[in-house]
Amino acid sequence: MSAGAALAVIVFMGLVGHQLFKRHETFDIAYHVSLLCGPIFLGTALLSPSLPLLRATYISAGTYLASLIISTLVYRASPLHPLAIYPGPFGCRLTKFWMAYVSFTGQQHNYIKSLHDRYGDVVRIGPNEVSIKDPSVVHAMLGPTGLPHGPMYYGKILVRKPGDMPMLGITDTAEHLKRRRPWARAFSGAAIKEYEPMVASRALQLVQALQSQQGEVDIGKWINYFSYDFMCDMAFGGGSELLRDGDLNNFWEMLENGLPPGTFVGNVPWLGPYLARIPALTADLQKVLAHCQSLTVGRIQRGAQRRDLFHYLNNEDEPETQPPPLKLIVNEGVVAIVVGSDTVSITLTSIFFCLATHPEAYKRLEEEIDRFYPPGQDPYNTEHHREMHYLTAVINEALRVYPTVPGGVQRCVPHNSNGVTLGSIFLPPGTSAWYHQLFAYHDARHFFPKTDDFWPERWLLASGRLSFSSFSSNIDEAKFVHNEAAFVPFSYGPMNCVGKNLAMLEMRVVVCAVLQKFRLHLRDGWDPRTYGEGLKDFFVTTRPPVPVTLVPRF
């Protein structure tokens, strides 16, 4: 075979390689190696009769990779691509590496919001990926017959073996539902009732810790400590005393340092198996895993002192059922502790920030707390929570203004399907789609007036618990918009947040306990804009300090 014919064969293999990877994108290293190296070796063999071996190898590799890359980029940018009808930045059509970089900075929610402001409700943010802010897609996309988890979850968690993947990262719907069963038992109404004493104990410890502080405190830091200590109690029966000892092992620093690499890989998940093997990138995450493994081992050694999450994940409530591997329980525990503590922590911090910057809402909530939990009454008792409608409105409004996961939720159209239609939006097989609830929450078509403001009264107006005539200012009932179908703070459908009821319990207890004992004042001269501008989304949310002075009320 002549050199020219050999080059033509190599180019053809590059085109075929593009089609194979497009249809069978995988996380399997052996598949990647065979796809990249096999054609190069074959091309070298075809060229070697005409060229020296080393030169034949260079030319084969260069020709194959060039044809593979050019074919991929041309197709992604062309009108032949099935997502070509959706607008978006040209660079995002070509590669996910740009979004990976933006995500690494924690600012993807701000960046994608700017894209929606420019392009509309549907934006192409990757070669095979769109972002949607239209809440009419929620049921079709996230509901019982909706789409499975997207590949972002698989890549972000940086787990090497599929068998070790925690529930959050499972993309197969049937397997996800199977793995969710012990979680559902762990967060049943009866189970949550048993966790109430743990919540009360840690909330009391939080109040006592705040009482011992002198002068200014970062309220967010202490909320972090409460959330983490409680989740360790709830997940593994104990093992953390940040409220008592402080963060002596720099757990939160390790966690926050370990988040950006996972967020980067979430955008290019096929890189996960490689980057997970680079110690410099995963060192902090591995320390977090080691810490959680020590909690697991400690729980096994102590035995079941009470029914905790481990009790259910290890199938201790179903002795006839084989317990899962220890590694899997460790990974599930990491998700429970990290995600469970962060979502509550960010929302509680946002609640206290919003109240401190909105005196009228603060006063009204304080009056409600004093009515149900006057001085001398136990604020850790949950019996009045369902009657505290303004407290619920405050929590909902904080979740609307500052969602726990600003980056939204990702789903993927199965490769073996015929595509899916979400309202007027058709998504072809293999397309990843995000629903960014943050943008719907801040859209006047769904929440009006005071769309971007913290205004708990909107929830009372929508429920009929407050009349429009009660406002001295002009609130036009005809123009009032409250699209509660757009409000999915704990996601929606069979893959929603299994711990949402426990999270609401924690938030209600802590808000009642803290506001019964203290009055919060932001530090004089501190710019409140610092809070919103300093939020960073790495799937869990990091936030800037919120400096407050706590004044005892009684």
Binding site listing for heme: 497
Judge residue 530's burial from the number of C-beta atoms within 10 Å of its C-beta, 0-12 exposed, 13-18 middle, 19 or more buried: middle
CB 210 within 8 A of CB 550: yes
User: How many CA atoms within 13 Å lie on the side-chain side of 310?
Assistant: 30
Name 426's bridge partners.
421
Q: Which two tokens stand for residue 370?
A: 């004093």
Helix 359-372 and helix 389-401: axis angle, to 10°?
140
Which residues, at least 6 apart from 383, have a Cβ–Cβ distance to it below 8 Å? none
Q: What is the CA radius of gyration of the chain?
A: 26
User: Do the Cβ atoms of 447 and 482 come closer than 8 Å?
Assistant: yes
Cis geometry, peptide bond prior to residue 449 (ω within 30 degrees of 0): yes
DSSP string, 145-192: TSPPBPHHHHHHHT-SSGGG--GGG---HHHHHHHHHHHHHHTSHHHH
**CA-based torsion, 271, 276, 278, 283: positive or negative:** positive
| Lookup: tokens for 391 | 């407290």
Please calculate the CA angle 153-154-155 and round it to the nearest 5 degrees.
95
Residues annotated within the binding site are: 497
CB 331 within 8 A of CB 295: no
DSSP 402-450: S-S-TT-EEEE--TTS--EEETTEEE-TT-EEEE-HHHHHT-TTTEESS
Please report the DSSP string for 271-289 in residue order: GHHHHTT-HHHHHHHHHHH
Handedness of CA 339, 486, 348, 235 (dihedral sign): negative
